[in-house]
């Protein structure tokens, strides 16, 4: 297994809007990995209680609108968002991304302070 360097993804509630639909109190900064990775490990800090969702972009242009990553559920072949709920930190989430190189994290509710997530890419 090949690991990327651990990257920080800051939900900076004071940053300028970067793309159409950006909510600066919910989206992290763009993480640019050196190459596409199949899986990602997300380290979730203490946050205002909400969901945490993984987003990917087609390129590294800041203004590109990110798209949520889905997975296929085995039970009924429907898809669902890669998301979890977190509040007190100390939680890791592993995402099977297919291949992604440019990613963001989104919290499901506005954060009242800056939050730093950490993301590591994995490939076989």
Mean pLDDT (whole number) for 20-44: 95
With contact defined as beta carbons under 8 Å apart, do 43 and 115 qualify?
no
Find the CATH number of the domain harbouring 79: 2.60.120
Mean pLDDT (whole number) for 20-37: 95
pTM: 0.88
- For residues 13 and 114, what is the distance between their CA atoms, to the nearest angstrom? 6
* Average pLDDT over all residues of the chain: 89
* C-alpha dist (Å) from residue 117 to 1, 32, 52: 22, 14, 10
The phi, psi pair for 28, rounded to 5°, reads: -85, 170
Q: Which domain holds residue 90?
A: 2-123
Range name among 49-58, 65-74, 92-101 with the lowest pLDDT average: 65-74
3-class DSSP assignment, residue 93: strand
Res. 87: pLDDT tops 70: no
The number of distinct structural domains making up the chain is 1
* C-alpha dist (Å) from residue 45 to 2, 61, 97: 24, 26, 21
- For residues 86 and 18, what is the distance between their CA atoms, to the nearest angstrom? 25
């Amino acid at each position: 297994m090949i690991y990327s360097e651990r990257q920080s993804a800051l939900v900076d509630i004071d940053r300028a809007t970067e793309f159409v639909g950006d909510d600066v109190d919910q989206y992290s900064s763009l993480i640019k990995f050196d190459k596409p990775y199949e899986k990602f490990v997300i380290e979730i800090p203490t946050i205002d209680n909400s969901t945490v969702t993984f987003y990917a972009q087609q390129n590294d242009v800041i203004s590109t609108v990110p798209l949520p990553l889905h997975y296929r559920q085995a039970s009924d072949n429907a898809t669902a968002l890669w998301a979890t709920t977190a509040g007190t930190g100390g939680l890791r989430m592993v995402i099977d991304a297919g291949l992604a190189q440019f990613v963001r994290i989104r919290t499901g509710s506005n954060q009242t302070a800056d939050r730093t997530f950490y993301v590591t890419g994995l490939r076989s």
